[in-house]
Amino acid sequence: MASGLVIYLEGDLGAGKTTLVRGLLRALGHAGSVKSPTYTLIEPYVVSRLNLYHFDFYRFTSAEEYLDAGLDEYFANHGVCLVEWPDKAAPYVAPPDVVIRLTVTGDGRDIAIRPETELGRQCTEQLAAPPPPR
């Protein structure tokens, strides 16, 4: 993952967006708790010298709430931004480099990952690569 990356997390309520973020943070070495930002709007993390910001805009009643909260500063901070419910902040929220769509299917989930930029393509290639031998 690289600084400046914006990842949209899409899916219905309960699809597993926060669970996916929790797994990603664990894979990057985060050992602390991982909370849903549903009520706080943002949960910041520092992992391997990389700032990660997990946003949840579900409770927005208008896109202007994004501007009022001053959240655009985080997207200019060159961290990694993981965004749940980005449509609630459109057109103000930064465009995605990667879109991850989670769909509930029976007892599991389908995950579709779509790069939108060159940075997003590089990220998805890293995620798809086999882990290095230990």
Q: What integer pLDDT is reported at residue 106 of this predicted model?
A: 86
Query: SS3 breakdown of the chain: % helix, strand, coil, rounded to 5?
Result: 25, 30, 45
Q: What integer pLDDT is reported at residue 90 of this predicted model?
A: 93
pTM of the complete model: 0.89
Say which amino acid occupies 118: E
Q: What integer pLDDT is reported at residue 46 of this predicted model?
A: 92
Q: What integer pLDDT is reported at residue 76 of this predicted model?
A: 85
Q: What integer pLDDT is reported at residue 130 of this predicted model?
A: 75
**58-113 tens-digit pLDDT:** 999 999 999 999 888 888 877 999 999 999 999 999 999 999 999 998 888 999 99
Q: What integer pLDDT is reported at residue 2 of this predicted model?
A: 83
What the block records as the tokens of 121 is 């393509």
- Contact between residue 84 and residue 18 where contact means Cβ atoms under 8 Å apart: yes
Q: What integer pLDDT is reported at residue 36 of this predicted model?
A: 86
Domains and CATH numbers, the chain: 6-128 (3.40.50.300)
User: Residue 93 in 3-state DSSP?
Assistant: coil
Q: How far apart are CA 36 and CA 81, in angstroms?
A: 14
Q: What integer pLDDT is reported at residue 127 of this predicted model?
A: 77
**6-58 tens-digit pLDDT:** 999 999 888 888 898 998 899 888 988 888 888 888 999 999 889 999 999 99
Q: What integer pLDDT is reported at residue 3 of this predicted model?
A: 87
User: Residue 129 in 3-state DSSP?
Assistant: coil
